[in-house]
Amino acid sequence: LMAPSHVLKCCQRVLAWVPVVFIALVVAWSYYAYVVELCVFIYLVIFHLSFVMFAWSYWKTIFTFPASPSNEVNKSFKVLILNLCISYLDFEIFNIAIRYCDRCQLIKPDRCHHCSACDLCVLKMDHHCPWVNNCVGFSNYKFFLLFLFYSLLYCLFVAATVLQYFIKFWTNELPDTRAKFHVLFLFFVAAMFFISILSLFSYHCWLVGKNRSTIEAFRAPMFRNGPDKNGFSLGCQKNLREVFGDEKKYWLLPIFTSVGPQDPSTLLHSVAPAFREPTPSAAAHPYSGVTFSHARTPACTSECPPTTLSIYSIHTVTSLLTWNSHFFLLNNPHRWLLIGNVIM
C-alpha cells in the first residue's frame, strides 16, 4: 500500500534539510579544527570575524521567507483599488499574455515564478537552492550573495593560514599529533569548497551586473519586441543598487536593502508597457491620495510608441494585490503600480 500523501510530504520536508545539516556540520567541524586543534591566536580575530559574517548571511538566506504575491492579499483594499480603476480610468491593455499560476490562482508579476519545492510563487525568483532549503529571490538574494562572498573569504582564509602547517605535516617536519588529521583534512575541505564557491559566486556577480536571474539567463523574458535577456538591465551601477540598495555602508551586511516592490520608482524597468495616458477626468478625480506619473520602460526601443505606467499614491494601502483578469498591483506603503505582464 502506498503511504499517505502527508507522510510523503513530511519525509520530503525532512530530507530537504539534509544538505543544510551537512553544511552546518562541516562548518562546526572546521571551527573546532581551526580554533581548538590549530589555535593560532594571531589568526583568531580575523577567523571569527569571517565566521560570524558567514554564519549570519547563511542564517538569513535560510530563514528569510520568500516574498510571494499570494501571502499579502488584503480583500478590502483589493475591492477599493479595483473599483477605483474600473470606475475612473480609461485604459486599454497591451496583452502579450497573462502569466497566471494555476497552483496559487493568481496573476504572476513580472519575474515572479512558481517554485514547486516551496509550493508558492516567488517574487523575482532566481532559483531554489537545496543547500539552504529555500528559494532565492527578491527577499533574500542579497543574503545569498553575501553568504557566497563570506563563505569564499572563510575558505580562503582557512586554506591560506593552514597551508604552512599542512606542508610541515605532509613533509613530517612536525611530530604526529591529534591535530595532524584535522589540519590535513581542513586544508583539503577549505580548498575544495573555495574552488566550487568561487565559480558560483563569479557567475552570480555576472548575473547581478546584467540584472538577470538564473532563470532569465537560461530563458530570456519576452517583451513587445521579442525575447531580450538584457531587457531589465539599467547599467551596472543601477543593477548593483537593485540588489544591494542605495546605502553603500550596508552593502556588506546581511540586512535587507534591496530595491524592489517597496520602491516602484526604480522598478519601472521591469514591467511591460501596458497602459495609455489616463484621461483628464481620471486624473482630476476627487480622491486626494491619487496622483499620476509616467515612465517609459527599457523594453521599448525607438521604434516603439511612448507608453506610460500609472502610479497611484495611496498611503494607507500596504498589501500586495492581484486581480485575475488583466493586471495586478505591486505593493509599497506609499505608491502603487498598475502594470502589465511579460511572458517568461
By annotation, the residues acting in catalysis are 129
Smallest CA-to-CA distance from 63 within 144, 163, 134 is with 134
Which string of b and e fits 50-76 if b means at least 16 CB within 10 Å?
Answer: bbebbbbbbebbbebebbbbbeeeeee
Q: Which residue has the cell 571551527?
A: 31
**What torsion, rounded to 10 degrees, do the Cα atoms 295, 297, 298, 299 define?**
-160
Q: Which residue has the cell 498598475?
A: 338
Strands (E), 80-212: 100-101, 106-107, 113-115, 120-122, 127-129, 134-136
Angle between helices 141-170 and 41-63 (to 10 degrees): 150
For residues 50 and 194, what is the distance between their CA atoms, to the nearest angstrom?
14
The helix/strand/coil state of 150 is: helix
Whether the Cβ atoms of residue 67 and residue 261 lie closer than 8 Å to each other: yes
